[in-house]
Amino acid sequence: MSSTVTDQALFEAAEAIRAKAYAPYSRFAVGAAILAEDGNVYAGCNIENAAYPQGNCAEASAISAMIAGGARRIKRIYVTGPGVAPVTPCGGCRQRIREFADLDVTVISHGVEGAPLACTLEQLLPHSFGPEYLPK
C-alpha cells in the first residue's frame, strides 16, 4: 500500500465509529472506514430502523460520508464487526462499493475477535456489473 494511511489506522477509524452504531434490533454493530483517493479516511456505522428494511449498512454510511466529503474513489476499505468470523460486506454493499472502487481494491473484513480477511473487490463480487456497462 503506497498510502501513509495504514491498515491499523483504518481499523481504528472503523472501530471508533462502530461504537456509535445504532443497532438496537440486531445488536450487531458494524463500522467501515474508507481510504479515498483524496487521502482522507471516511467512516460510517450501521443505522437500523424500526421498519427493518430501511436500515443502512456501515459501508453505505461510509460511502455517504465520502461523497459528502467531496471524494469519489475508494482506494481501500476496512469493515469491522463483532465475533470471530470476518464481517464481510453484504451483497448490496458489494455492489455499492463496486460503483466507487476498481476491481483490484482491497476490502478487509474483520470480526474483531478473530483475524482480518483481505480480499479484492473482484473476489467478493465476481463477474460484476458496473457503471462502465452503461452508455455515456
Which residues have a catalytic role annotated? Answer: 59
CB 96 within 8 A of CB 119: no
Side-by-side strand order, sheet with 117-120: 41-45, 31-36, 74-81, 101-111, 117-120
CB nearer to ligand THU: pick between 38 and 122: 122
Mark residues 65-104: x for contact with ligand THU by CB under 6 A, - for none: --------------x-------x-xx--x-----------
Contact 48, 16 (CB under 8 A): no
Binding test (CB under 6 A) with ligand THU, winner from 13, 57, 71, 108 = 57
Neighbouring-strand partners of residue 45: 31
Interface residues with ligand THU (CB under 6 A) are 23, 26, 28, 30, 46, 48, 55, 57-59, 79, 87, 89-90, 93
